[in-house]
Amino acid sequence: IATDVGGNREIVTDQNGILLPPNPSPQEIANALFLFQKDAKQAAEKREGSRALWHELYNAEKNFTTFIRHIKTLLPMDIDL
């Protein structure tokens, strides 16, 4: 659960959470919290979605490897890294 400020929109999606308006009311916050409390299956799906999104977009080991592979394609062929 996060508010729609800064980069939160890039991180919190329907797949992994609930994005509240920038200045949510106490009732909106309570409703979001209640959704997770009342539906354990949905909470588990959001946790799994968070892990999948992290692995896809924010996993440093994976991202660095992909980045270096891309950089190597841009280098002249006679340079060995």
* pLDDT value at 26 more than 70: yes
Q: At what angle do helices 26-38 and 40-53 cross, to 10 degrees?
A: 100
Summarize the confidence of residues 3-9 as an average pLDDT: 96
* pLDDT value at 81 more than 60: no
Q: What is the pLDDT of residue 76?
A: 78
Q: What is the pLDDT of residue 30?
A: 97
Reported as a pLDDT band with limits 50, 70 and 90, residue 58 is: confident
Summarize the confidence of residues 51-78 as an average pLDDT: 87
- What does the alpha-carbon distance between residue 19 and residue 32 come to, in Å, rounded to a whole number? 9
Q: Which helix (H) or strand (E) holds 63?
A: helix 60-74
Q: Note whether 6 and 43 are within 8 A (CB).
A: no
Provide the mean pLDDT of the chain.
90
